[in-house]
Amino acid sequence: MAIRIGILGYGNLGKGVECALKHNPDMELAAVFTRREPQSLHILTKGVPVYHVDKASSMKDAIDVMILCGGSATDLPVQTPEFVRLFNVVDSFDTHAKIPEHFDSVDKAAKESGHVGLISAGWDPGMFSLNRLYANAVLPGGHDYTFWGKGVSQGHSDAIRRIKGVKDARQYTIPVEKALEAVRSGSNPQLSTRQKHTRECFVVAEEDADLAEIEKEIVNMPNYFADYDTTVHFISEEELQRDHRGIPHGGFVIRTGKTGWNDENSHVVEYSLKLDSNPEFTASVIAAYARAVYRLNQEGHSGCRTVFDIAPAYLSALDGSQLRKHLL
């Protein structure tokens, strides 16, 4: 019997999870839950019901894992501990600084209810975290570097859109190739914020807007742009729609370290992602962890987990002997 999945929240991520389930025949979409009017939602999977989120608690026995597709700022800190009382859950909580407190609140609720709640699945946190951990364990005393991009930053795009005279905008974060090369050389460079990434902005301005003023506001915006070399391009709405509709992202996790009795040998471990669709890849990671969460709970486990706590074999639809034969 397939693992029955619920999706809570049907934005880019929720739709990405729906698509990921199509690629994983051992899982099936049981229902989508929304805070909107259910009739207003048109999902891709034929024959699957859409319910108002208030109905979720009555579906306890029809869903093996509920995937929470809300945002990290206000949705997940409330939803994950709430829903793990009813379901096994997976979320993609990505406010790095608040992970410890989120973990604690989910862990308490999960243990009380006997469910497994896996938090912070995705690629950063997620696959990038795994690669940081593995490389740290293998090369103690080394140096870690994480670069993001080339990719669209939703937060930075939103910040530009809030400027007076801006109609729409898309911001790309771009790793500096020279910095990447310096890291790969094993020279352990100390890199400033400005040296690691540049920011490129494509802006659609209102008619008669003061372009020079918009550009000045962008490049001097504290936290978002002031510490970076930022370039601003003004383009038409048509160009934005034509050339910048996608949500690509990616990045690099690199660790360099030494081995040998006198640290005489250098090593470079590099992991990189090049993603056409940030939400769909995140959703694909989530789907694999939903499988793991289901299995762990079937084995009697409960509590909060992160990607660090899950043995890799739990993620795969193949069994142990197949994995050893084909992938080891």
Q: Helix, strand, or coil here: 172? A: strand
274 binds a second copy (CB under 8 A): yes
Q: Which is nearer to a second copy, 51 or 271 (CB)?
A: 271
69 binds a second copy (CB under 8 A): no
x/- mask, a second copy, residues 125-164, rule CB under 8 A, reads x-x-xxxxxx-xxxxxx-----------------------
Helices (H), the chain: 12-22, 76-83, 99-113, 127-138, 154-161, 177-184, 193-196, 211-219, 237-243, 278-298, 320-326
316 binds a second copy (CB under 8 A): yes
**Side chain identity, residue 34:** T
Q: Are 27 and 45 in contact (CB under 8 A)?
A: no
Min separation Cβ 205 and a second copy, Å: 30
Min separation Cβ 79 and a second copy, Å: 19
**Side chain identity, residue 120:** S
Q: Which is nearer to a second copy, 99 or 209 (CB)?
A: 99
212 binds a second copy (CB under 8 A): no
Q: Which is nearer to a second copy, 54 or 261 (CB)?
A: 261
188 binds a second copy (CB under 8 A): no
From 205, 285, 290, 293, residue interacting with a second copy (rule: CB under 8 A): 285
Residue 61 DSSP one-character state: G
264-270: long-range contacts at Cβ-Cβ below 8 A with a sequence spacing of 24 or more?
Answer: 266/186, 267/139, 267/142, 267/186, 268/184, 268/186, 269/131, 269/134, 269/135, 269/138, 269/139, 270/184
For Cα atoms 31, 33, 39, give the angle at the middle one, nearest 5 degrees: 95
Of residues 290 through 309, those in contact with a second copy by CB under 8 A are: 291, 306-309
From 53, 86, 240, 313, residue interacting with a second copy (rule: CB under 8 A): 313
From 85, 184, 194, 295, residue interacting with a second copy (rule: CB under 8 A): 184
